[in-house]
């Protein structure tokens, strides 16, 4: 671990101790959505079918010292901003990850709506052409689904590949973007 990694980790832990995160549940076109937001922006957006427990546990693990408050009203408003077509302004995002993960997630933001890219294309884009597998791992750890469009990354053979919330959800999201 480099000095910059350690410095960033210390900063994140210090910041997490002082932060308040509002979280809640909302419906979305792709299933139930778990959304968590800090004053800096959305820190987690995930989908689930029947139980939000796993999403809540992920939030507690990522932000162990933060004060977590349930606020379904705020989350409902965020959900409308995120998922309603015609909404001009999307909410800010504030992902937490390693420098490499943040680099990958930033690259994902450059994939246009309705388009896809492969893991190897993303690896080349970030200047690490042999890091396709690491790009796949970083993509799979994306804490802010849909807004950081990990669903737009597919395998080199054109198949959908994996998606933390299932390939049916991934296909639905991609289909909605093509419509």
Task: Give the closest residue to 82 by CA, choosing from 40, 142, 27.
Answer: 27
Nearest to 164 by CA among 134, 140, 136: 140
Cα 76 from Cα 87, distance rounded (Å): 14
Instruction: Note if 150 is an active site residue.
Output: yes
Give the residue ranges of DSSP H helices in 32-108: 53-62, 72-83, 99-108
> What angle, rounded to 10 degrees, do the helices at 132-140 and 99-108 form?
80
Q: In this structure, are residues 72 and 35 in contact, taking their beta carbons and an 8 Å threshold?
A: no
> Which candidate in 78, 108, 125, 150 is catalytic?
150
Which residues does the annotation mark as catalytic?
150
């Amino acid at each position: 671990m480099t000095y910059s990694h350690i410095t960033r980790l210390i900063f994140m832990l210090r910041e997490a101790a002082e932060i308040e995160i509002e979280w809640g549940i909302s419906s979305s076109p792709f299933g139930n959505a778990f959304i968590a937001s800090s004053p800096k922006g959305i820190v987690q957006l995930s989908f689930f079918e029947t139980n939000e427990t796993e999403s809540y546990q992920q939030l507690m693990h990522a932000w162990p010292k933060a004060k977590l408050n349930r606020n379904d009203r705020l989350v409902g408003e965020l959900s409308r901003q995120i998922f309603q077509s015609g909404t001009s302004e999307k909410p800010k995002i504030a992902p937490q990850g390693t420098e490499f993960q943040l680099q990958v997630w930033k690259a994902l933001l450059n994939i246009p709506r309705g388009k896809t890219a492969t893991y190897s294309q993303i690896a080349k884009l970030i200047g690490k052409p042999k890091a396709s597998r690491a790009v796949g791992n970083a993509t799979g750890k994306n804490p802010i689904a849909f807004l950081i469009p990990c669903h737009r990354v597919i395998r080199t053979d054109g198949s959908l590949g994996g998606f933390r919330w299932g390939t049916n959800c991934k296909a639905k999201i991609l289909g909605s973007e093509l419509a």
